[in-house]
Structure 1
Amino acid sequence: MIDTAQMALILDALPDPAFILSRSGKYVAVFGGRDARYYHDGSGLIGLYISDLINADKANWFLEQIARALATGNLLVAEYELSNRDVKGLPDEGPKDPIWFEGRIQALNFRVDEEEVVLWVASNISERHTLEVRLRELSDTDQLTGLFNRRKLEHDLKLHHESLTRYRVPTSVFLFDLDNLKKINDTQGHHAGDQIIQAVAEICRCALRATDFACRLGGDEFVVGLPNTEREQALQLAERLHERFRKELSRYWAGDTVVTVSIGATAMLPEDHAYEDTLKRADRALYVAKSMGKDRIVWL
């Protein structure tokens, strides 16, 4: 049998820190945290409250998790970040990236000083979180341009269609491709064509608003989504983007043919059953733009 002294040594040797926290956020006891790569000695926390150490918004989040664990009695797992800005008394400047933790919170069946308490085990998962973010970026990003890819586009358009259906939040969409790119590829090679596609992506990054998103569907076909944007404003943005394309792509020639852009534009409509209906309408608008002589904007 393990006696009390041995159990204390075991708890003290835990690599991740384990806290006994009261409902009001008081540090009742601290165990472990022996992995010196990630943690400092936490014994000085005993007797303090989370609100003594952490700024109000983040402290309230911790108290909410404690309350949830106590209410359900089940193990609660939550990921959270902490940075210099969250901790009282530290300067805002510091490590650029926050530290990410996984908290495992379990209600305990006893009280301390008449208060309910939980066990909170905190594990530093910053490396794992960074890897997960990078993997998500790779899965959502077109390798040639760095723009979002079709997978990310479909995910975002679905969310914006739901916003239109539930809350009447408008979203406009541009579908465009490059006029005469095939001639560049045929005469100068696909490397030259790739450079033009990359130039288009850079124009999108510079010309669009922070709330807009641009995606490469494949080949020389792109989609731009403009959340919370109705027809008049969307057309103004389309004109500015189109003019930017004309100016910056004018240096790409194949004989006497210059690369231009045709844009099909539309907005999500209440009668659209899904985002695919919006894309189909934008595609029809693009077809009309092409048939009218290219290098123009058509709204349907």
Structure 2
Amino acid sequence: MIDLQQMTAVLEALPDPAFILSRSGKYVAVFGGRDARYYHDGTGLIGMYISDLVKPDKAEWFLERIGLALESRKLLVEEYELSNKDVKGLPDEGPEDPIWFEGRIQALDFKVDGESLVLWVASNISERHEIEIRLRELSDTDQLTGLFNRRKLEHDLALHFETFTRHAVPTAILIFDVDNLKKINDSEGHHVGDEVLLAVANTCRPELRKTDIACRFGGDEFVVCLPNTEPDRALKFAERLQRNLRQALSDFSVGDIAATISLGAANITSEDRSYEDTLKRADGALYEAKRLGKDKIVTA
């Protein structure tokens, strides 16, 4: 049988820190945290409260999780971040990347000083989190252009459609393709066609706000989603983008074969049943721009 002294030694040897926390957020006991790559000695926390250490919003989050674990009596697993901006007494300036943790929170069957308790084991998962982000980016990115791919676009369009449905936030969808790209491929080779697509991506990127999304939809088709954008502003964006692309692609024109873009634009409306309806109207406008002689913008 392991005696109390041996059990204490086992707990102290844990690589990740384990905290016994009260419902009010008091550090009742601290064990482990022996992996010196990630953790410092936490015994000085005993007797302090979470609200003594972190700012109110983050402290409230911790207390909510403690409450959930106590109410459910089930193991609660949460991923969370901590940065210098969350900790009291530290300047906001500092490393931009937060530290990510996985917290495993389990209610305990005894009390201290009349308060219910949880065991909170915190594991530093920053490296894993960074890998997960990178893999997610790779799965959402078109390999040639570096723009988002169709999978990412469809995910975001579904969210924007829901936002429009709930809050009437205007959202514009632009779809365009490169005029005469097939002729350029046939004349100059597919490597030149790839350079055209890269030029399109590099021209689009500086025009986007942080909330906008541009994607290579397939082949030489591109889609730009402009949330919080009324039709008149979407048209001005389309006209500016067309001018910039006309200039950027002028080097790829061969004789009378001009590399330009034809573009269709549509805003989500209350008649649309899904974002697919908006996309279909924008696509129909694109084909109308082609029918009118290319290098045109048509709105639907």
TM-score, normalised to structure 1, is 0.96
The corresponding residue for 1:237 is 237
Is 1:279 the equivalent of 2:279? yes
Between 86-95 and 254-263, report the one with greater CA deviation. Answer: 86-95
Deviations 1:133-192 (A, max 9, x none): 111111111001111101111111112222222332221100100011122212221111
User: 1:251: how far off?
Assistant: 2.3
User: Which amino acid is the alignment partner of residue 79 of structure 1?
Assistant: E
Residues 80 and 100 of structure 1 are in contact (CA less than 8 Å); yes or no, is this contact kept in structure 2? yes
Contact 1:215–1:224 (CA under 8 A) maintained in structure 2: yes
Matching residue's letter, 2:83? S
Aligned to 2:246: 246
Partner of 1:30: 30
Unaligned runs of 5+ in 2: none
Indicate the larger mover: 218-227 or 88-97.
Answer: 88-97
Residue 63 of structure 1 deviates from its aligned partner by 1.2
- Tell me how far apart the structure 2 counterparts of residues 230 and 91 of structure 1 sit (CA, whole Å): 40
Residue identity opposite 2:188 in structure 1: Q
Shift of 1:291: 0.6
Is this contact kept in 2: 1:184–1:254, CA < 8 A? yes
Matched with 2:47 is 47
Map Cα deviations across residues 243-266 of structure 1 (whole Å, 9 max, x no partner). 211222222221232211110111
Aligned to 1:296: 296
| DSSP-derived class of the 1:143 partner | coil
Distance 1:8 1:107 in 2: 20
**C-alpha deviation, 1:58, in angstroms:** 1.2
Cα separation, 2, equivalents of 1:256 and 1:170: 40
Would the aligned equivalents of 1:33 and 1:41 in 2 still touch at CA under 8 Å?
yes
How far apart in 2 are the matches of 1:43 and 1:120? 15
Question: Is 1:99 aligned with 2:99?
Answer: yes
Percent identical residues: 70
Query: Which residue is equivalent to 1:193?
Result: 193
CA distance in structure 1 between the aligned counterparts of 2:165 and 2:109, rounded to whole angstroms: 46
Matches within 5 A, 1:85-234: 85-234=85-234
- Which one-letter code corresponds to 1:229 in the other structure? T
Q: Cα distance, 1:28 vs. partner?
A: 0.7
Q: Aligned AA for 2:30?
A: V
Match of 2:58 in 1: 58
**TM-superposition CA deviations, 1:180-232 (whole Å, max 9, x none):** 11222122211111111111111111012221110101211000111122211
Instruction: Tell me which amino acid in the other structure corresponds to 2:216.
Output: R
Structure 1, unaligned stretches of length 5 or more?
none
Question: Would you say the 8 A contact 1:251–1:258 is kept in 2?
Answer: no
What's the C-alpha RMSD, in Å, of the aligned pairs?
1.3
Residue type of the alignment partner of 1:283:
D
| TM-score normalized with structure 2 length | 0.96
| SS of equivalent to 1:254 | coil
The structural deviation recorded for 1:129 is 0.7
Report what 1:8 is aligned to.
Answer: 8
Give the aligned residue type for 1:231: P
Distance in 2, matches of 1:195 and 1:56, equals 51
Structure 1 stretch displaced more, 16-25 or 66-75: 66-75
